Amino acid sequence: MTLQQLRYADAVATCGSISEAARRVFATQPTLTEAIRALEEELRVAIFTRTARGVTVTREGEEFLASARQILDDAARISEKYTGKSTRRPQFAVSCQHYAFAVEAFAEVVKANTADAYDFTLRETVTSEIVDDVARHRSEIGILYLSERNEKALSKILKREEIEFEELYSAKPHVFLGRKHPLARKKYIRPEELDVFPYITYEQGPENALYFAEEVMPAIDRKKNIRVRDRATMTNLILGLNGFTVASGAHAKAYNPAIVSVPLRLSDTIRVGIVHRSGIPLSSAAKAFVASMRKIISGK
């Protein structure tokens, strides 16, 4: 097994095509095909499935590529340290529920990156896709929460997919509403006081089970419900309709200053954390991202 073979496998997985990968790594198609075949034969694992439409990564291939990319990143860092030349474009991807602190931390990681070229991805998406992205290695890290209402179901799914949960912080539920909302100045809010106002929640697509909900208070308990897909729309509806949502009390500097949070009289505790594949060490970018989130959350 050589670094060149790992580069070829990485290129094929990224491009989804032997011909496109060959162009990217400046190799002929027969050379690249033979290198991948020899690698699979040596490791006794099928990294790709070949079809008429191209190639797809197998489940075993996903696990192999996660380790291979770690090796390529380490080799690139060593090369850059001693030669001053970058041999690999830094890559990092994260999938998360809609947390402003995660966006702020992601921006810090991008700003701290010194490479001339990089390929970073931030996906704010639904809970089921976060788990799937991490399980399929589309994202190195996911960010979601556990509570008494969803922990049993989600923990079972995470265990099945060989994914670990690492807590970032825990908090009591808070109501997020506009500064001019009638309840904005209260010391705490009881769930029944919210009945007359629209509850803005994130739609979870086809996976709309309660344990996938991004809000700890179920919409099924509310009289007026509006579901959205993005944070900007949620903010506009909270302000425009005297609506509200329920989340943890953690604020980031990037959060809209027109929004305030008030403690909700609900017994649940929200445990927000990262999820990542078990047994696979985090990349330097992922470690920097987690460290930045912890710093933002702590307010330091």
pLDDT in tens, 47-89: 998 877 678 888 888 888 888 888 888 887 787 778 766 666 7
AA identity, residue 79: S
CATH topology assigned to domain 1-87: Arc Repressor Mutant, subunit A (1.10.10)
Residue 252: is its pLDDT beyond 60? Answer: no
Q: Distance of alpha carbon 174 from its chain centroid, rounded?
A: 23
pLDDT tens for 176-202 read 999 999 999 999 999 999 999 999 999
Say what the pLDDT of residue 153 is.
93
> Residues spanned by CATH 1.10.10.10 within the chain?
1-87
- Both tokens assigned to 122: 């931030």
**What pLDDT does residue 208 have?**
62
Phi, psi values for residue 49, rounded to 5°: -110, 125
User: What CATH number does domain 170-267 carry, 3.40.50.300, 3.40.50.2300, 3.40.190.10, 3.10.150.10?
Assistant: 3.40.190.10
In angstroms, the Cα distances linking 43 to 5, 37, 117, 269, 270 are: 12, 10, 32, 46, 43
Find tokens 């790709």 and name the residue: 48
Q: Kindly report, as residue ranges, where domains of CATH 3.40.190.10 are found in the chain.
A: 170-267
Tell me the pTM. 0.76
SS3 state at 50: strand
- Residue 71 in 3-state DSSP? helix
